[in-house]
Each structure stands twice: as C-alpha cells, then as structure tokens.
Amino acid sequence: MKIGIILGDQLSLSLPTLAHLDKQRDRLVMAELADEATYVKHHKQKIALIFSAMRHFATDLQQQGWQVDYYPYGEHRHRDFESLLADHYREAQGIVVTHCGEYRLQQRIDQQWSASCGVEVTCLDDTRFLCAPGFFPRWAAGKKQLRMEFFYREMRRHTSLLMEGSEPVGGKWNFDSSNRQPYKGKTPLPPVLTFTRDAIDEQVLALVAEHFADHPGSLQHFQWGTTSRQAQQALAYFIEHRLPCFGDYQDAMVTGEDTLFHSLLSPYLNLGLLDPMAVCQAAEQAYYDGDAPLNAVEGFIRQILGWREYVRGIYWLLMPDYAKENRLGNHRPLPSYYWTGETKMHCMAECFRNTLEHAYAHHIQRLMVTGNFALLLGVLPDAICQWYLEVYADAFDWVELPNTLGMVMHADGGYLGSKPYAASGSYINRMSDYCKHCQYDVKTASESDSCPFNSLYWHFIHRHRGQFSTNHRMKMIYRNLDRMDSDKVNAMLTRAESLLANPDLL
C-alpha cells in the first residue's frame, strides 16, 4: 500500500497524486498541522478557509471511493508531516506527493520525509498550472530581465486563449490602458455573494476562534466558499455579474466598497478548487457570447494566464536566494497600524479594514496603497512579505513573494519590474474617493498636514537618485524634481524626515 499526501493547497480531483495511485489499494492522508498553521500568524479567515476546504475535499474524495486518513487540528499530537509519517506510515510501500507551492516545505519533502519514516518519497510535478514544467526556465534562459508582457504573449500563443490564428483577438495583446477608470457610482454594484454554512464550516470557525485567537483578523465577516461547488458558483457569479464592468473599474477604490467588480476567485484558484484554464475559458466564452467586453476579459485573463503563471515561474527559478533580495537597502520595521488598522491616513485605514475584516484587498489596494507606502517608508522587504503572507486568504509563498518583493518593493533591482511602483497621493486621489475623507491634504507635500504619500514620495525619489536617475521610465520624474525651487524641495524633505522619524504616529 502506498500513501498519498494531499496538502492544503492541492484540493483538486485532477491532482497528479490521485492519478498516480490506486483508490482500491492505496490510502490518502490529509492533516491540519500546527507548523503549517502557525509558522507565520495567518489571518483567522485564511486558516478557517483552508481547514474547512480540506475537510470538505476529504469528503469528496471518500465519495469518489478513496480511503482517506484525516487528522483534524487538536485531535492528534503531530506538529509536522515528518512526525506523522514516522508514527503511522513506516510500513507503507511508498509516499507520493505533488510538488508543493512553497520552497520551505518542498525542502522538507525532499530532504526529511524519507529519512523520517524510512520510506521512499515520490514527488510529482504539479500539472495543474497553465505553464508546463520546464517552459518558464526555457523562456527565461539568457534574459537579464523578465518582462511579464512578453511571457504573457507566449502563453496566449501556447493556450490559444483570445487568439485568432497567430494574432490576438481585437488586434492588441493588452487593453490595460482602457482599464483605469475611477468609479463614480453610475454603474450599480452587484451584491456580495454569500454562502450557507454547513456543520463543517461551523466546527472549523469555532476551532479557529478557540485556538488562533491571537492571529490577525476577524471571523465575523467570513463569507468564503469552502467547497468545489461553491467555488464554481463564485466563478459563475463573477462571469455574469462582475466581469462586464471588471475591466473599466479594476483599478478603482471606493470608501466602504470592498469588492467592487473584482472576482474574489484567487483563493479558490490557489487552493485548487478552481482550474485556471476553465476559469480563463469561462471568461473568454463570455466575450464570444457578447456578455462581456474585450478589455474586461483580456484584463482578467492576463491576471491568471500572465501574472499568476509569471510569478510562479520566477519563484521556482530564483529561490531560495530571491527571498533575501534587498537591493534598495531597506531596513525599517512595519508600523503598528498594519496589524491594528488604526491610522489617520484614510486610504490606508480603508485597506486595513478590508484586510482585517475579510482577509482580502484587491490588487491596487495592495500594490498602490499598503505596498506603495511600505516602499516609500523603506520597510525591510522580509517584513512586508511576511505581512502579506499572513493577512490574505489567497497568499501562498509562490505567489506572494515575487509580487511583494519584486513588484511592490522593487527589492530585486528591477528583475521583475522595469521601474518601482512608487506613487504620490495624486494617484490614489485619481483612482479613489479616499482623499475626500482624509484629514491630510493631498494637494501639498511640505506642510504639517500634507499627505504623507506626497512627502515620502519625493524623499524616496531623492534618496534613490543613484539607482533610478538613469532609468528611462523615470527621467521625467527627475527632471521635474530638478526644476523645483530648492526651498520647496528642502521643505518636502524635511516634512518627510519628520514622518520617517515617527511613522507610527500617522
């Protein structure tokens, strides 16, 4: 008898482990382990989502005829897979597992599992992604910088998504320039999709409340689907009610509106409850059926076929050294309001509220508000990377680390992005209503009530002149800085220095 290990982000009936085993002869093992739940302080909703989804998937497997050994949290003494395997599966004829999504755990699979139980471990390639194993390294070979746009085009050709022969549908690869409208309230927002909770959900929510009370976030607003059926409902709901306007407003932010037209599908994709190709094909079909415009469908598919596959490729190409990158020499700790949400900056407070209440914030809230602020402050990359890993339901190391370290913090020296995503408060003001509700003045940079983003932005530009002044995408910014009156520049820098001295007071 062989043993198949099913990890918490491998909740898919198309998992290679299942294809490799015989359900009549072999057994599957799933376990809620303390080491995996607490190696960082994951958001309570993230833990609840994973545990409940695991338990529901175990039921699905049993209904498919599999024999499943399930170890619920608190009902066994094992903190990690090594001790579990050593105590219960030394007589197995082999251990089978699909390659995991985190370098830390993969190293333990490769180096410790077999030694722990004295049984051979077979680790299979994860074929559930759209980029086949080996494709990304071949594409990246010899390139000094890896640009997502060019990788995305290769993936479009490879999958034939939104293609007419060898040319992209609509004559353009990318419709991002059409996807930057602020939301003014003219288009009605769809209600948030909610799900009925079953006994498994309720048991898990009670367990998390009891055992993870010191972890960030609240369980009060838990509204994630926890089964493959609910994940499919979420996909159908997005395609019908949100995708038509997703493109126009995907960068918009509105006070009190936490989801707008975003899909909220990334947790289901990253757990394995949704298949990425099926999701892309559903969006593509909406375009061909005339139910969604091309700018929306292309922009959505690009997030999955482009960014999701791209950052996974970078992660496995460059780890473990990539996690240590800090090319800008940042060293500051995260301010306390990243956990409490208590700050006078309205844009930040809104993003934190959404994060703590829902274990969610959309990509612009992450990139251009909380991430941008960490970049401008000069936060240690490891600190902000760990925070994102902790607080978001869709955050797994392979997708979170390149996005945060490379795209948000530019800590890899431009390997992932050609310029830092640094911005003043003007960008936030253009794409949201946040600044209208803030006590800071978004139109100034040197006064005592000036928007902290403005002052810190120019301080960031000033202190990193050596790295960025020759960047062709930033030369205009430095020309603008050099044209400014020297007294004005000094006043802005002085204001920024005062903020950097006490960032927790903002």
pLDDT digits (tens, 9 = 90+) for 91-102: 989 999 999 999
Read off the pLDDT band of 144 (50, 70, 90). Answer: confident
Q: What single-letter amino acid sits at 6?
A: I
Residue 349 reports pLDDT greater than 90: yes
User: What is the percentage of the chain residues whose pLDDT exceeds 70?
Assistant: 100
Read off the pLDDT band of 183 (50, 70, 90). Answer: very high
Q: What single-letter amino acid sits at 182?
A: P
pLDDT digits (tens, 9 = 90+) for 399-432: 999 999 999 999 999 888 889 999 999 999 999 9
| Cα–Cα distances in angstroms (integers) from residue 325 to residues 314, 329, 405, 421, 467, in the given order | 13, 9, 8, 17, 15
pLDDT digits (tens, 9 = 90+) for 30-61: 999 999 999 999 999 999 999 999 999 999 99
Token pair for 454: 């403005």
d(CA 332, CA 336): 12
User: What is the percentage of the chain residues whose pLDDT exceeds 90?
Assistant: 92
Read off the pLDDT band of 236 (50, 70, 90). Answer: very high
- The pTM assigned to this predicted structure is 0.95
- Give the three-class secondary structure for 106: helix
The single residue listed with the structure tokens 């995991």 is: 100
d(CA 141, CA 144): 9
Instruction: Kindly list the structural domains of the chain, giving each domain's residue range(s) and its CATH number in brackets, ordered by start.
Output: 2-124 (3.40.50.620), 135-318 (1.25.40.80), 337-505 (1.10.579.10)
| Strand stretches in 11-125, DSSP E | 27-31, 67-71, 94-98, 121-124
- Whether the Cβ atoms of residue 26 and residue 1 lie closer than 8 Å to each other: yes
Q: Which pLDDT belongs to residue 459?
A: 97
Mean pLDDT of 146-160: 93
pLDDT digits (tens, 9 = 90+) for 256-270: 999 999 999 999 999
pLDDT digits (tens, 9 = 90+) for 69-78: 999 999 998 9
- Give the three-class secondary structure for 191: coil
- Give the DSSP letter of residue 197: -
| Average pLDDT of every residue of the chain | 95
Q: Which pLDDT belongs to residue 117?
A: 85
Residue 172 reports pLDDT greater than 90: yes
Q: Which pLDDT belongs to residue 341?
A: 96
Residue 150 reports pLDDT greater than 80: yes
Q: Which pLDDT belongs to residue 116?
A: 85
Other CB atoms within 10 Å distance of the CB of residue 276: 20
Closest by Cα among 340, 328, 386 to 504: 340
Reported residue count of the chain is 506
